[in-house]
């Protein structure tokens, strides 16, 4: 309060007129009253202007909301009117949509094989036929919709069996290599997320078990084929020029027996070296005995090594696909001539690369194509 009084001290004004001097005294209270009246008027003006702006914004928002509600009502009413006009036209539209879905799916995965594995999922063709006949007797106008539902279920079951067939082929390829499919194709959930968007709505939130089964089969097939892409399946160099195999051999320098941990691909200096599978480059540089080399990690303890290079064309941390050129053939390190020394290592132990490059190549080609990788001219044959 003392600070406010210091702003408005008593003031005296001198006025001289016709030789007379007059004193006019303005007290602190009078000054504070005048200042308060001015401040009140300014505050009132600010409040009035703010209220006008807010009122205008509210009016604009209400108008927009009204237009949105009117549009939603119009859309809903037009849809209801379409259903009321006849279930036949709705069934016709849905049938065309189903044709489009089937053609789109088959265009993406190719024509479904005529023979698909049985037993992986039920065949509801007969039961669906009975349902269509029963509905046509009770509610004839809904016959078209019942037929479309039957087509959808038959299509989903066929796709489920197709996904199961692809998964089984991938598992077979892994087992032939001595790998455990469950370990190789283990799903990593440490970096996943996103909003929950259920496939169905309503209080029950139920889903036809055949659709749920299809989702599980599709996820399993995707995991298996993504794992296949990371298993060595692409020739790193020309298959016609293997100069030394995996295992014990006569050492070219000492003449004595020695273990050879990979395959040697003879070739001219500068010939391309390709990644044998999808993975991440984990090492580039010189390594004792190997000379200039590149190592690619494929996950789950699987690694490939490419040695005696004349040139490196990849960098550490780079993600590469099968068939990607990562370097050039050379004769660096412990080498008698230009060639590629190729190793496959599991848990840092060397294994024979040949079975990986020869195991069911058509399965690997299919998996690589699905993942968008591959180099068609260097597939194992």
Q: Does the residue 80 lie in any domain? A: no
* Global pTM value: 0.55
Are 327 and 265 contained in the same domain? yes
Model pLDDT for residues 92-145, shown as the tens digit of each residue: 777 777 777 777 666 656 666 666 666 667 677 777 778 778 877 877 777 777
Q: Does the residue 191 lie in any domain? A: no
With left for phi above 0 and alpha for psi between -120 and 50, is residue 270 left, alpha or beta? left
Are 122 and 250 contained in the same domain? no
- Residue 377's pLDDT band, with cuts at 50, 70 and 90, is very low
Q: Does the residue 9 lie in any domain? A: yes
What number of other Cβ atoms are within 10 A of residue 322's Cβ? 29
Helix (H) or strand (E) holding 297: strand 291-299
Q: Which residue, 229, 259, 282, sits at the end of a domain?
A: 229
pLDDT at 78 over 60: no
Q: Which residue, 199, 229, 259, sits at the end of a domain?
A: 229
Q: Does the residue 57 lie in any domain? A: yes
Are 32 and 138 contained in the same domain? no
Q: Does the residue 76 lie in any domain? A: no
Are 91 and 224 contained in the same domain? yes
- Residue 166's pLDDT band, with cuts at 50, 70 and 90, is confident
Q: Does the residue 38 lie in any domain? A: yes
Are 243 and 295 contained in the same domain? yes
Q: Does the residue 305 lie in any domain? A: yes
As for how many domains the chain has, the answer is 3
Query: Can you give the residue range of the structural domain that contains 100?
Result: 87-109+116-185+208-229
Cα–Cα distance for residue pair 47/49, rounded to 1 Å: 5
Are 136 and 14 contained in the same domain? no
Model pLDDT for residues 213-227, shown as the tens digit of each residue: 888 888 888 888 887
Cα–Cα distance for residue pair 380/354, rounded to 1 Å: 9
CB 301 within 8 A of CB 283: no
CB 29 within 8 A of CB 35: no
Q: Does the residue 140 lie in any domain? A: yes
Model pLDDT for residues 335-355, shown as the tens digit of each residue: 989 999 999 998 889 988 888
Name beta bridge partners: 22.
15
């Amino acid at each position: 309060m003392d600070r406010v009084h210091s702003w408005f001290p008593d003031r005296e004004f001198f006025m001289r007129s016709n030789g007379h001097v007059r004193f006019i005294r303005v007290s602190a209270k009078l000054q504070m009253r005048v200042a308060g009246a001015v401040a009140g008027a300014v505050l009132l003006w600010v409040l009035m202007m703010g209220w006008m702006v807010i009122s205008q914004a509210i009016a604009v928002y209400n108008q927009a909301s009204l237009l949105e509600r009117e549009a939603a009502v119009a859309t809903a009413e037009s849809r209801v009117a379409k259903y009321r006009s006849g279930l036949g036209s709705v069934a016709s539209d849905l049938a065309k949509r189903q044709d489009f879905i089937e053609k789109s799916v088959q265009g993406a995965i190719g024509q479904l094989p005529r023979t698909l594995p049985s037993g992986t999922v039920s065949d509801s063709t007969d039961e669906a036929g009975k349902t269509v006949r029963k509905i046509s007797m009770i509610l004839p106008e809904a016959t078209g919709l019942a037929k479309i539902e039957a087509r959808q279920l038959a299509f989903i079951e066929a796709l489920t069996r197709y996904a199961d067939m692809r998964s089984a082929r991938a598992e077979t390829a892994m087992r032939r290599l001595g790998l455990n499919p469950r370990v190789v194709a283990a799903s990593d959930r440490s970096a996943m997320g996103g909003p929950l968007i259920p496939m169905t709505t309503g209080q029950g939130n139920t889903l036809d078990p055949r659709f749920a089964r299809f989702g599980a089969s599709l996820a399993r097939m995707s995991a298996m084929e993504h794992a296949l892409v990371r298993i060595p399946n692409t020739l790193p160099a020309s298959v016609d020029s293997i100069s030394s195999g995996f295992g014990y051999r006569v050492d070219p320098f000492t003449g004595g027996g020695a273990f050879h941990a990979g395959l040697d691909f003879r070739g001219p200096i500068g010939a391309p070296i390709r990644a044998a599978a999808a993975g991440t480059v984990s090492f580039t540089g010189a390594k004792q005995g190997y000379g200039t080399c590149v190592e690619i990690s494929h996950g789950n303890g699987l690694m490939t090594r490419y040695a005696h290079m004349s040139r490196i064309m990849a960098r550490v941390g780079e993600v590469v696909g099968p068939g990607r050129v990562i370097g050039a053939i050379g004769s660096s390190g412990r080498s008698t001539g230009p060639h590629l020394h190729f190793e496959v290592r599991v848990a840092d132990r060397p294994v024979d690369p040949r079975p990986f490059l020869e195991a069911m190549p058509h399965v690997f080609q299919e998996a690589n194509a699905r993942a968008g990788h591959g180099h068609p001219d260097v597939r194992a044959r």
